[in-house]
Chain A
Amino acid sequence: MPPRRPAIDPASLLPLKADVFHILLTLAEGDAHGYAIIRGSATRPGRRGQLQPGAMYRLLKQLLDRGLVVDVEGPASADERRRYYRITPAGREVARAEARRLDELVRASRQAALLEGPGRGRP
């Protein structure tokens, strides 16, 4: 039984579920409450439809449990019943790793001429 590691190796979590990545992405832009994350999902490119609350909170719980996200006091003006969520450095690290992975995939796609745009196209 391997000892529990204090910090998470981001690579061990990849690839992330699309919904998880979306939550981290929203929080990377700034602290948000749960409903804002749900609302944001409706307009995020590459998503079909809105994230459902049941799904969202379940994933959020897992992120909290792994220390990728913490809950914080909302801004002074905010409705105090609402909890706000903030991405931790570890969470940011995981999101970045996922973004890098995706970026590599995109680059690979370009190389395979699946996509147009800058990149090393076929000679």
Chain B
Amino acid sequence: MRLYRAALRAYPPDFRARFGDELTSAFVETMAERRRGTAWRIVARALADLARHAAGERLATWRGLPGGLGPVDRPRVPRAARQAGAARAGRLDALRLDLRHAVRTLRRRPGPSLVIVLTLALAFGASTTIFAVVHGVLLRPLAFPESARVLALCEVNARTADFCVASAMNVADWTARVPSLDAAGVARGESFRIRLDGRTVGLRGAVASPGFFAALSARPMIGRLLEDADLAAGARDVVVVSHAFWQHRLGARPDALDVPLQIDGRAMRVVGVLAADQFVPFLGDVDVWKPLTASIDDVTQRDWRGFRAIGRRAVDATPARLDADLEVARAALAAAYPDANDGWRIRAVPLRDQVVGPAGRTLWLFQGAVALLVIVAGANVTSLLLAGASARRREFALRVCLGAGRMQVVRQWLIEVLVLATVGGAGGWWLARSLTRGLMALAPASLPRLDEIRLDGTVALFGLGLTLAAAIVLGLIPALAAWRGRGASIDHPSRVTIGRSRLRSGLVIVEVALAFVLLVGASLLTRTFARLLEWSPGFDRDATTVTWAVAPPDVYETGARAVGALEALRDRLRHTPGVLDVGLVSAGPLFGGVETGMAIPGTAAAPADGSGILAAWYDVDERGLDVMGRRLLAGRGFEASDADGATPVAIVNETFARRVFGDPSPVGRQVTVQEHASEIVGVIGDVRPLQPGAQPAPEIYWPIRQYRRFAAYLLVRATPGTAGLDRAIRDAAETEGSAVQLGTPQTYAELRDRALVSPRFNAALIGLFASSALLVAALGVYGIVARTVSEGTREIAVRVALGATRGRVLAAVARRGLVLAVGGLSAGLAGAIALGPLFAHLLYGLPPRDPGTLAAATALFAGVAAIACYLPAKRAGRVDPIEALREQPTAGNRRRSGSWSIAACGCADWTELS
């Protein structure tokens, strides 16, 4: 809309005043009637339409001619007007002439033109691609109505750090008490077992309050969504299903509402199907939604904050107003329920920020990397253009002498650059299309909103803007340089000295410096990736299989019976051939969620504000820690006798011991975590988490027989290469009398590979930028040295004739490139050291200013720069003084210096003219 209004400026002002509003409203109506997904096609067509007719209208005004109504309409025009029109038309013809001349000139020098176009295409393509990702993930609003007003409502506590949680009871009270909230609701993921066509399958499900859908403005495709009436005691046997569930499990039946479902042993009725394109944050792909009160847990416990809450701000309320209202409600609820609410604050975060989370920082970093690449490419192109300009001074001087205005010369020049930029931009768009596709195939699934990335109108506009900006900036610098070339005259060919063109040298230094910064970033991420590959959880990765096992509560009823069933399964597996050891754990490195406990009161290390220390807690059987390869540092491991009724015991890791007790061996001391008091009987070693930027957290382990749950991970360590292990695990679970349900067995190696998708993606992406930048910068250095040689051939010849040795000539020429490279490297080193901390959150086991990495990058870059200097310098060493001095600086050394040497190529223009 804003874009369209801006585009209207292309019309002459009086036309705009007359029809601008009407054109806009016609556009708005066309947009309103569009079919889904055709928006950007409409925008493109409308802009093309405007461009064509605005140009026509301007032309008509300019020529002083009224537009024609008929195809052959040539109205009679006063002669004066016709002459004025002819003058203007002459200008147009000149424009066309300039354009044709530009294309011809560029085609005459295919080498440099091609390099410029390719460099620009590379830079435009990379930046457009990353912009598409940044735009899709970070900038575009979430895909539901008025998403800017939708907020994640988080209850936070000094102890839970940034976890975004909420209590269902509190959220219900906010909905009633806070006038600036239109709607608010909670949801929580639960897994259900559903009986369909005689088979029982596990499903991703969730419980939700009606307000959750209302806040999202979610729409049903069939039937209705959850309503307040569904929360009442007698009405909880209704479910809303996802579009995918309806399609795949219910056969897309139009009468889906009548299908009876058995969920967790209860008959349930489908009341609605969620529309296909509905966006539901946080919970992933949920198949079945039950009313909140149908949860197997008691949701009326106010201090249970296991929910995600979403709210919709009222249209007339400002964010500040909402915060103030929430604060009032919070204070009232804290006073009414001090046990549940003491110390908790409310934070309302725009849903988009909450959904994108930490991925945002990484993406902005990549956008920065792309900006560096664009600058490097731009500097190189400018440098090439400058060379062309200086070589063509004579041509320009001649044109001025023949009566061309300076403006005309500059315009001619700008048009040449515009042609180059346009071709580069088109190439960049083509590249961006393939890159975007490749990137989305490679991108980690954890990248939020991955499916929303596409090349749309905004991205196209970005690419177009970039191209035009580049053309103007790139064109103006050399054009101004040429403008100043007043002193050049026709009879003095460009004076050749080795120290000329400080601007070009400066550009090369900038290129080298920025490319070096990128190279350091790429080296850091690549080394991070290598280190992550070496990560060891403490046991043989390839021989250990992880399987999620659930003992359904409706079958086993008590925790003790559930644990008994899981242990029986474990014992059966232990006797399978090839199996070395089996353990049960609630979670471990790379699998299972982590339950983060509350503060540990009464300990020396607890800070004064009562925030305490956040500890992750797990429950394991007596073999679990051994199978996970955890080293026992002090005390003992768990035993079968650590059961219900015996003294509650716990094992902690090193970090826990150090942080909570300040004592590496706190065996025998008491600790209370999560209201679960126990005596510490052992200390185990830390395992570094496989996650960039993460440090080992305090951990506490309880015996599975004292802290009972209905599910656990089955860890099976087997002789490598044992065949049929998955089958054996499944058979053990399907034995007579066992109702334990299993997830898909996965080896540890598979888990690790999945965890590494993100670092691999980061390393690959920045590696791509860095190698492009390195290449471009190397070309820059090469180009400047090659030019020194080709422009200075006569001078070199004179020196050789006067007795300079080949080695000295070579050194003198190469020195020039090396000085620039060293200057650039020093600046780049300083830049890399300054920018390093931005990378810290992506690194694993490496400081952002890692000296080894910096040294390696410097060495690599120095090597590349040396080659870039040596190749052209070698040619200087081979200059034959007699031949070179006999020849004029014409076609002869043009051939010798190769297509790279634009200076020589440019000479062709004036030698032909003179």
Contacts and interface: CB of A to CB of B under 8 A. Distances in A.
A66 B53 CA distance: 19
A58 B70 contact: no
B490 to A, nearest CB: 48
B881 to A, nearest CB: 66
Contacts of B78: 1
Contacts of A38: 26
Contacts of B23: 53-54, 57
Interface string B56-94: 110000000011111111001011000000000000000
A57 B70 contact: no
Contact of B69 (A13, A34, A53, A55): A13
A54 B69 contact: no
A59 B52 CA distance: 13
B323 to A, nearest CB: 38
A53 B49 contact: yes
Given A35-B29, A52-B46, A53-B26, A81 B21 contact: yes
Contacts of B26: 34-35, 38, 53
B813 interface: no
A44 interface: no
Contact of A58 (B29, B30, B67): B67
Interface string A7-20: 00000011111001
B50 interface: yes
B69 A63 contact: yes
A82 to B, nearest CB: 7
A2 B76 contact: yes
A61 interface: yes
A71 B70 CA distance: 22
Interface in A55-102: 55, 57-63, 65-66, 81-83
B18 interface: yes
Contacts of B19: 34, 57, 60-61
8 contacts: A1-B79, A16-B69, A52-B53, A54-B49, A54-B53, A54-B54, A61-B18, A61-B67
Contacts of B57: 58, 61
Contacts of B27: 53
B647 to A, nearest CB: 82
A103 B438 CA distance: 59
Interface of B: 15, 18-19, 21-23, 25-27, 29-30, 45-46, 49-50, 52-54, 56-57, 66-73, 76, 78-79
Contacts of B50: 54
A58 B71 contact: no
B25 A14 contact: no
Nearest to B33: A39
Contacts of B68: 17, 62
A14 B27 CA distance: 31
Nearest to B4: A53
A114 B46 CA distance: 38
Nearest to A52: B49
B66 A62 contact: yes
Contacts of A66: 66, 69
Contact of B73 (A13, A63, A81): A13
Given A53-B49, A59-B69, 11 more contacts: A15-B72, A17-B69, A34-B19, A54-B52, A54-B53, A54-B54, A55-B52, A58-B53, A58-B56, A61-B15, A62-B66
Contacts of A54: 23, 46, 49-50, 52-54
Contact of A34 (B22, B46, B56, B76): B22
A82 B71 CA distance: 30
A34 B25 CA distance: 10
A52 B45 contact: yes
Nearest to B28: A35
A16 B56 contact: no
B197 to A, nearest CB: 49
Contact of B71 (A17, A33, A60, A65): A17
Most chain-B Cβ atoms within 10 A of its Cβ — which of A54, A57, A58, A81?
A54
Contacts of A20: 69-70
Interface in A1-54: 1-2, 13-17, 20, 33-35, 38, 52-54
A59 B774 CA distance: 54
B27 to A, nearest CB: 7
A25 B636 CA distance: 96
A35 B380 CA distance: 50
A10 B30 CA distance: 34
B87 to A, nearest CB: 19
* The 8 A-B residue pairs with the shortest CB-CB distance in the complex, in nearest-first order: A54-B53, A52-B49, A54-B49, A53-B26, A57-B19, A58-B53, A54-B50, A35-B26
Contacts of B73: 13
Contacts of A59: 67, 69
Nearest to A55: B53
Contacts of B66: 62, 65-66
A96 to B, nearest CB: 15
A65 B67 CA distance: 10
Contacts of B45: 52
Given A58-B57, A81-B21, A53 B70 contact: no
A81 B69 contact: no
Nearest to A65: B66
A17 B45 CA distance: 21
Given A2-B76, A57-B19, A57-B22, A13 B53 contact: no
A1 B783 CA distance: 63
Contacts of A35: 22, 25-26, 29
Contacts of B29: 35
A62 B30 CA distance: 24
Nearest to A50: B30
A16 B73 CA distance: 9
Contacts of B21: 81
